[in-house]
Amino acid sequence: MFRTLPFPFDGHRFPDALGAVVQRTVLDGTEPAREVVHFSDGSWAIGDGVSDPNLPGAAVATHIWHAIAQNSSIAGLAQMPPGSLARRPGPGEPWQVTALAEDDD
């Protein structure tokens, strides 16, 4: 598993070896993914958008495909440029991609 890989990704797909910090609630299906961040350093994070990802044990580093298995629409964000944030209100809603604010990065 790699924290970052060269971007843009081949075939407009997330590489199988790419890692991300993912909230456990997203991984276990308790909550849908509502936020996807592609930090300017090339790393990725996926959150539920409703609970604090900074609490001890709330997030884990894992292969990004684990989050995609729970939330297939994440796959469509593979070409989101570094320094971007995607948000949606909930499942089935479109992702809205914006630039990260400097204090978010």
HSE-CB for 72 with a 13 A CA cutoff: 1
Query: For residue 87, what pLDDT is reported?
Result: 98
Helix H, strand E, coil C: the string for 10-50 is: HHHCCCCCEEEEEEHHHHCCCCCCCEEEECCCCCEEEECCC
- Tell me the average confidence (pLDDT) per consecutive run of 10 residues in the chain, 105 residues long: 95 97 97 98 98 96 97 97 97 96 67
Q: CB under 8 Å to 89, separation ≥6 — which residues?
A: 34
Query: For residue 101, what pLDDT is reported?
Result: 85
Domain boundaries, the chain: 1-81
Query: For residue 104, what pLDDT is reported?
Result: 62
Task: Give dist(CA 75, CA 68) in Å, integer.
Answer: 6
